[in-house]
Amino acid sequence: MQIPANTIYPRSGDRETVYLKAVVTDPNISVGEHTIYNDFVRDPTGFERNNVLYHYPINGDRLVIGKFCSIACGAKFLFTSANHTLQSLSTYPFPIFYEAWDTPVSEITEAWDNRGDIVIGNDVWIGYEAAILPGVRIGNGAIVAARAVVTKDVEPYTIVGGVPAKPIRKRFDPDTIRRLEQLRWWDWPREKLRQLLPLLRRGELAALERAAEDI
């Protein structure tokens, strides 16, 4: 069965899980198909307001989330404006309060150091109340443990945890990771993925690769 593009809730009777693509409206937030967010504390449709923080249009920075990601309750994405500049001798954000300090409005962004976009790959699992900091890139297939604070890029298929988050282990050996990155199953048409889902779920990579060539 084809899922309508505007479907919000993946499961009947479940109002704690949403397809993020269906509830995001900010043009600077991009979410891939089938990515889900679960929230048992707040309304998950409020993801933009409650989970994407300090994301002001003046910076133009983006949140990019791939396909088939799983984002747990309370995960936060903190953007550049959460920071105070370290280039000054003071961390006080004088440019924000331009009226009080007679500074130009055009200098507001100098109150923080711009660290850029947050980019999340495909098939990424972000755990309960994890925090992703500005400028971080998380590779395909990675896992972020509950309440981890991710300050640096995460390589594909790597499990990270802690404060600050550090690699715990790779999910697979280097050859398997290379083959999965090449396979890019998340880009397959829905019907092809549906047919090959049993092989994907059972971890039968060689069989999956062979079957993928025939469909």
**CATH code assigned at 158:** 2.160.10.10
Burial zone of 70 (CB within 10 Å; 0-12 exposed, 13-18 middle, 19+ buried): middle
pLDDT in tens, the chain (215 residues): 566 768 999 999 999 999 999 999 999 999 999 999 999 999 999 999 999 999 999 889 999 999 999 999 999 999 998 889 999 999 999 999 999 999 998 899 888 888 899 999 999 999 999 999 999 999 999 999 999 999 999 999 999 999 999 999 999 999 999 999 999 999 999 999 999 999 999 999 999 999 999 87
Residue 122 has a pLDDT of: 98
Residue 5 has a pLDDT of: 67
Same domain, residue pair 165 and 190: no
Residue 32, domain member (yes or no): yes
Tokens of 76: 């936060």
The residue from 62, 76, 84, 115 that is catalytic is 84
pTM of the model: 0.93
Same domain, residue pair 178 and 73: no
Residue 12, domain member (yes or no): no
Residue 43, domain member (yes or no): yes
Q: Is 34 a catalytic residue?
A: no
Residue 7, domain member (yes or no): no
Same domain, residue pair 61 and 154: yes
Same domain, residue pair 202 and 127: no
Residue 71: closest CA among 24, 114, 26: 24
Domain range for 214 = 172-215
Same domain, residue pair 40 and 93: yes
Same domain, residue pair 59 and 153: yes
Residue 127, domain member (yes or no): yes
Residue 3, domain member (yes or no): no
Residue 64, domain member (yes or no): yes
Residue 8, domain member (yes or no): no
Same domain, residue pair 165 and 63: yes
Residue 1 has a pLDDT of: 57
Residue 3: closest CA among 18, 13, 24, 25: 18
